[in-house]
């Protein structure tokens, strides 16, 4: 009882302070009430790699912040910062690692320069789709490996969104064979960029906000981004009408929420559970949103803007697959932890593929043929 009294007193003092000093809408009567019971309200910053209010990805991060704030009754409020507002997009990892912000939202393949194994938790070319990734992460040992890796950087990772299969990208000229890729400059991050380099493309990594201008000015000849929903919002169809599929390089990209380890461990158990549960709910919610919005946006792009969706030629896909195997082998040879993660990833994928072939794969083929 004594400890509880102390906590109550501290909570009242902190809530009083926050009500006068803070204009957060979440510092409501509800948070004041819970503050009296459960200690001082905590205010976290979430830095993101996304442009402000960006559909799907940026709004997913915003939804996550809102859910945590609401589910905690205002005991843990989260304020979202777009890429560049507090730190540049590609400094999110370092900012959360050192505690400049308690939380970050991005994609682990942006951090391959920090840890060669990082991209395996987001997107692997010709790798697993969203359904298979969730199986590996939550029930196949993937999360244990991801926590082990990010723990070295003072971070706790959570899956927090999935784009589903992306598009191969927008090209300013037709791609009819492998020869047409030679010398192209393409914005394509992560392992996809490394693979593209092996087939004659010069890969460039640019944050989302810089893509339109770079493609328009001719600084790049091609770009991948996400899929119809996001690409329509960026207006990439105003520069070229050629969008190629499939997203061989991002077959089900996992977005991430990373939390500063000390900040996470300082939370009471129920708030830790709220953070984890809200991340899992956003992981599901974002995929549902993309499933609904991408097909609407594709219709708009085709019918209103004259965009052509074309398949990548077979020889291009075959060359990309060979180059993917070489790239993955190279990463495994360069870093023991990456080798360990890749082995676990590929072992799960092999088994998942065998089952997907007779379940989702067979069903989709049957439905299309019916």
Q: From the CB of 249, what's the least distance to Ca ion, in Å?
A: 7
CA-CA distance, 178 to 200, in Å (whole number)?
A: 9
Beta carbon nearer to Ca ion, 224 or 289:
224
Q: From the CB of 148, what's the least distance to Ca ion, in Å?
A: 26
User: Token pair of 174, please?
Assistant: 């037709």
Binders of Ca ion in range 248-267 (CB under 5 A): 250
CB contact set of 217 (below 8 Å; sequence gap of 6+): none
* Backbone phi and psi for residue 174, each to the nearest 5 degrees, phi listed first: -65, 145
Q: From the CB of 220, what's the least distance to Ca ion, in Å?
A: 14
Beta carbon nearer to Ca ion, 147 or 310:
310
CA geometry: angle 272, 273, 274, nearest 5 deg: 90
User: Token pair of 100, please?
Assistant: 């400049």
Q: From the CB of 61, what's the least distance to Ca ion, in Å?
A: 16
Beta carbon nearer to Ca ion, 232 or 275:
232
Binders of Ca ion in range 278-317 (CB under 5 A): none
Beta carbon nearer to Ca ion, 38 or 224:
224
Q: From the CB of 66, what's the least distance to Ca ion, in Å?
A: 25
Stretch that binds Ca ion, among 63-71, 89-97, 217-225, 323-331 (CB under 5 A): 217-225
Beta carbon nearer to Ca ion, 132 or 224:
224
Binders of Ca ion in range 220-249 (CB under 5 A): 224
Q: From the CB of 50, what's the least distance to Ca ion, in Å?
A: 12
Residues facing residue 105 across a β-bridge = 48, 257
Query: In whole angstroms, how far apart are CA 19 and each of 14, 29, 68?
Result: 9, 9, 19
**Exposed e or buried b per residue across 243-272, where buried means at least 16 C-beta atoms within 10 angstroms of its C-beta:** bbbebbbbbbbbbbbbbbbebbeebeeebb
**E runs forming strands in the chain:** 42-48, 76-81, 103-106, 155-162, 169-171, 185-187, 202-204, 222-223, 242-245, 254-260, 308-311
Binders of Ca ion in range 12-41 (CB under 5 A): none
Tell me the per-residue interface mask from 80 to 119 with Ca ion, x by CB under 5 A, - otherwise.
Answer: ----------------------------------------
- Count of residues in contact with Ca ion, rule CB under 5 A: 3
Beta carbon nearer to Ca ion, 35 or 89:
89
CA-CA distance, 125 to 193, in Å (whole number)?
A: 10
CB atoms within 10 A of CB 20: 8
Beta carbon nearer to Ca ion, 250 or 256:
250
Beta carbon nearer to Ca ion, 153 or 229:
229
Beta carbon nearer to Ca ion, 45 or 249:
249
Q: From the CB of 224, what's the least distance to Ca ion, in Å?
A: 5
Q: From the CB of 67, what's the least distance to Ca ion, in Å?
A: 24
Contacts within 8 Å (CB) and 24+ apart, 358-361: 360/131
Tell me the per-residue interface mask from 148 to 167 with Ca ion, x by CB under 5 A, - otherwise.
Answer: ------------------x-
Going by the DSSP 8-state scheme, the letter that residue 101 receives in this structure is: S
Q: From the CB of 49, what's the least distance to Ca ion, in Å?
A: 12
User: Token pair of 315, please?
Assistant: 């020889």
Stretch that binds Ca ion, among 39-47, 59-67, 138-146, 216-224 (CB under 5 A): 216-224
Beta carbon nearer to Ca ion, 31 or 166:
166
Q: From the CB of 250, what's the least distance to Ca ion, in Å?
A: 5
Question: Are 267 and 75 within 8 A, CB to CB?
Answer: no
Distance between start and end Cα atoms, the chain: 68
Place of tokens 């919002």: 233
Residues that bind Ca ion (CB under 5 A): 166, 224, 250
């Amino acid at each position: 009882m004594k400890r509880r009294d102390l906590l109550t007193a501290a909570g009242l003092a902190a809530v009083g302070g926050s009500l006068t000093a803070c204009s957060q809408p979440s510092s409501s009567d509800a948070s004041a009430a819970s503050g009296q019971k459960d200690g001082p309200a905590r205010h976290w910053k979430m830095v993101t790699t996304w442009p402000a209010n960006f559909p799907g990805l940026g709004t997913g991060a915003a939804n996550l912040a809102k859910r945590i704030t609401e589910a905690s009754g205002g005991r843990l409020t989260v304020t979202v910062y777009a890429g560049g507002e507090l730190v540049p997009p590609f400094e999110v990892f370092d900012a959360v690692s050192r505690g400049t912000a308690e939380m970050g939202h991005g994609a682990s393949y942006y951090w391959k320069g920090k840890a060669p194994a990082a991209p395996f938790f987001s997107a692997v070319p010709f790798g697993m789709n969203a359904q298979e990734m969730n199986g590996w992460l939550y029930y196949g040992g993937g999360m244990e490996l991801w926590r082990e890796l990010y723990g070295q950087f003072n971070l706790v990772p959570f899956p927090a969104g999935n784009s589903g299969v992306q598009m191969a990208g927008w090209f300013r000229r037709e791609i009819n064979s492998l020869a047409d890729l030679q010398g192209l400059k393409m914005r394509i991050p992560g392992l996809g960029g490394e693979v593209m380099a092996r087939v004659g493309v010069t890969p460039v990594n640019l944050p989302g906000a810089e893509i339109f201008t770079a493609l328009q000015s001719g600084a790049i000849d091609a770009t991948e981004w996400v899929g119809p929903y996001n690409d329509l919002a960026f207006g990439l169809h105003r520069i070229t009408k050629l969008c190629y599929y499939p997203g061989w390089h991002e077959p089900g990209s996992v977005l991430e929420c990373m939390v500063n380890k000390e900040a996470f461990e300082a939370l009471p158990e129920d708030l830790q559970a709220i953070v984890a549960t809200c991340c899992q709910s956003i992981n599901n919610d974002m995929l549902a949103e993309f499933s609904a919005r991408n097909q609407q946006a594709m219709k708009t792009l085709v019918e209103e803007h004259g965009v052509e969706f074309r398949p990548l030629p077979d020889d291009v896909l075959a060359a990309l697959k060979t180059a993917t195997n070489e790239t993955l082998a190279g990463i495994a040879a360069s870093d023991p932890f990456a080798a360990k993660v890749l082995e676990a990833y590929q072992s799960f994928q092999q088994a998942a593929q065998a089952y997907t072939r007779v379940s989702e794969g067979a069903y989709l083929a049957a439905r299309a043929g019916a």
